[in-house]
């Protein structure tokens, strides 16, 4: 399921819960590094801006409490203590488990909506699962009810993902709406990569879908994921180069680094975005003029650089003015047609300001055959 589709499902569940119709629990399962956990902070940020029809509010305060259940013990759901007066065993249940008070990550009482995420739940021990089983169904733990504005969600890998996970019992699965997540390259490129990922890496992932998420069949081999790509991007942005970058690349994304490396190091063959492309779109260098062997890959690299520059402007809250947008489109029109179309789509995904100028319409007409 794609991120936007998952937003719509989650939002329908949340609105139903906030209306008092009863809460449904959400379970996200999938391979490593497909944003199962990070989906919830993203949803919370979006929901806080979009508000709630059920509550009649245009904006909301939304909190996310992330609980790493693979390291929890059954006592985390209630601490036993002897009741000497009646000879029974009482249990103290922490407020934050039920969505009250505050935790290190979430101030429950101040929020309109709280989402408690039970992360790595398929790696929990049996006694922990048993302790939570009734809570997930009846929203009650040791006689105490959960807060009325709290949604329960859980995430986990599957046994086939080679992460030490086990299947959840049918009785537990029956308490959730289970969604299988797969790598969403387009969401990563449009929502996360601009302004966060080195342009050459963006260009490589745009060109080669298999470089985004690659899990080896055998244990001990390093996977290539969006998380690893982010790590190597940060090292590149901080000046790591040469043999050290090569070693780090293999450490971040494994064997995929050998292929990704081909997209890196075009500094001598591609122009600077602001100083050359925008200032002189008709005269700025086209990749391949200096070294014809890198023309195609170099054009994809400059496409990534332009998208990265546009994404960074958007992240900083700075508008792309007409002169800049027209210059970018004029330069992209000089690239090979299939790359030019690809590059403009990438540019608009990064910053829609580009689509608000006259040359954008001219470009669409010129490349109508490739766009259909």
pLDDT computed for residue 79 by the predictor: 56
The residues facing 178 across adjacent strands are: 27
Checking DSSP bridges between strand 26-29 and strand 79-83, what pairing results, if any? unpaired
What is the SS3 string spanning 183-250?
Answer: CCHHHHHHHHCCCCCCHHHHHHHHHCHHHCCECCCCCCCCCECHHHHHHHHHHHHCCCCHHHHHHHHH
Element (H, E) at 27: strand 26-29
Please give the Cα distance from 313 to 307 (Å, whole number). 10
Burial of 183 (0-12, 13-18, 19+ CB in 10 A): buried
pLDDT computed for residue 68 by the predictor: 87
| Residue 168: DSSP 8-state | P
User: b or e along 96-111 (b: 16 or more beta carbons within 10 Å of the residue's beta carbon)?
Assistant: bbbbbeebeebebeeb
pLDDT computed for residue 186 by the predictor: 86
Please give the Cα distance from 122 to 129 (Å, whole number). 9
Question: Is the alpha carbon torsion for 110, 113, 118, 119 positive or negative?
Answer: negative
Q: Alpha carbon 138 to chain centroid distance?
A: 31
pLDDT computed for residue 198 by the predictor: 86
pLDDT computed for residue 14 by the predictor: 98
Task: Tell me which residues of the chain have a pLDDT lower than 70.
Answer: 71-84, 87-92, 262, 265-269, 290, 372
Report the interhelical angle of 322-332 vs 337-350 (nearest 10°).
150
pTM for the model stands at 0.70
Q: Please compute Rg for the chain using Cα positions.
A: 25
The residues facing 115 across adjacent strands are: 64, 151
Closest CA to 262 of 288, 305, 301, 292: 301
Q: What is the pLDDT of residues 67-115, one digit of tens each?
A: 888 766 555 555 556 666 776 666 667 777 788 887 777 788 899 999 9
pLDDT computed for residue 90 by the predictor: 65
- Please give the full DSSP string across 30-98, using - where no structure is assigned: -STTSSTTTHHHHHHHHHHHH-BTTTTBSS--EEEEEEEGGG--GGGG-EEEEETTTTEEEEE--HHHH
Which tokens go with 87?
């000879």
How many other CB atoms are found less than 10 A from the CB of residue 356? Answer: 12
Domains of the chain with bracketed CATH:
3-180 (3.40.50.300), 185-371 (no CATH)
Please give the Cα distance from 46 to 40 (Å, whole number). 10
């Amino acid at each position: 399921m794609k991120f936007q589709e998952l937003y719509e499902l989650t939002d329908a569940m949340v609105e139903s819960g906030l209306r008092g119709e009863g809460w449904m629990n959400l379970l996200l399962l999938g391979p490593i590094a497909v944003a199962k956990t990070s989906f919830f902070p993203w949803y919370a940020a979006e929901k806080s801006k979009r508000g709630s029809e059920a509550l009649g509010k245009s904006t909301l305060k939304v909190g996310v409490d992330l609980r790493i259940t693979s390291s929890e013990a059954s006592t985390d759901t209630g601490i036993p203590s002897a009741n000497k007066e009646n000879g029974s065993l009482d249990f103290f249940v922490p407020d934050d488990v039920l969505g009250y008070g505050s935790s290190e990550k979430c101030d429950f009482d101040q929020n309109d909506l709280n989402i408690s995420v039970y992360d790595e739940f398929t790696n929990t021990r049996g006694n922990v699962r048993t302790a939570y089983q009734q809570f997930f169904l009846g929203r009650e733990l040791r006689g105490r009810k959960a807060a009325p504005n709290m949604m329960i969600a859980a995430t986990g890998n599957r046994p086939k993902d080679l992460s030490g996970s086990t299947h959840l019992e049918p009785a537990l699965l029956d308490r959730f709406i289970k969604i299988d997540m797969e790598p969403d390259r387009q969401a990563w490129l449009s929502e996360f990569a601009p302004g966060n990922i080195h342009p050459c890496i963006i260009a490589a992932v745009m060109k080669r879908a298999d470089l985004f998420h690659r899990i080896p069949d055998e244990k001990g081999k390093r996977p290539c994921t969006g998380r690893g790509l982010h790590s190597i991007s940060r090292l590149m942005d901080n000046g790591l180069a040469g043999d050290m970058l090569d070693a780090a690349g293999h450490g971040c994304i494994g064997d995929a680094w050998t292929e990704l490396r081909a997209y890196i190091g075009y500094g001598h063959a591609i122009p600077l975005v602001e100083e050359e492309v925008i200032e002189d779109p008709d005269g700025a260098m086209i990749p391949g003029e200096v070294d014809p062997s890198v023309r195609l890959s170099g054009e994809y690299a400059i496409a990534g650089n332009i998208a990265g520059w546009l994404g960074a402007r958007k992240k900083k809250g700075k508008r792309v003015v007409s002169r800049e947008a027209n210059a970018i489109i004029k330069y992209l029109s000089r690239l090979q047609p299939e790359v030019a179309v690809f590059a403009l789509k990438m540019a608009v995904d990064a910053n829609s300001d580009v689509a608000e100028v006259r040359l954008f319409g001219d470009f669409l007409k010129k490349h109508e055959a490739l766009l259909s």
